[in-house]
Amino acid sequence: MNSATADAQSVSRKDLRSIERNKAAKAERHTLRTLVTMFASTGLMATAALPSYGFAPEVTAAAGLARDSEMVQVSAPSQGLSVATVRAVEFTRGDYQPAAASEFQVKSKSKIYYYEGPRAADYLASPRFTSVTSANLMKAAAELVGTPYVFGGQTPGGIDCSGYVLFVYSQFGVELPHSVYQQAKMATKVAIEDAVPGDIVIFNDFSHNGIYAGNGNFYHAPQPGDRVKLAPIFTDRYHLIRFVDIEN
User: Does the annotation mark 239 as catalytic?
Assistant: no
From the list 197, 178, 207, the residue with the least C-alpha distance to 242 is: 197
Q: Which are the contacts of 141, defined by CB distance < 8 A and separation ≥ 6? A: 168, 198, 211, 213, 219
Set 30, 161, 178, 239: catalytic member: 161
Determine the Cα–Cα distance for residues 238 and 233; give it in Å rounded to an integer: 9
Residue tagged active-site, from 30, 178, 220, 239: 220
Given 30, 178, 208, 239, the catalytic residue: 208
Please tell me the distance from the alpha carbon of residue 244 to that of residue 222, in angstroms, as a whole number. 24
Report which DSSP code applies to 149.
B
30 included as an active-site residue: no
Distance CA 200, CA 141 (A): 12
Q: Which helix (H) or strand (E) holds 75?
A: strand 75-76
Give the span between the Cα atoms of 62 and 91, in whole angstroms. 10
Q: 10 Å Cβ neighbour count for 179?
A: 15
56 to each of 52, 103, 111, how far by Cα in Å?
7, 34, 43
Active site residues: 161, 208, 220
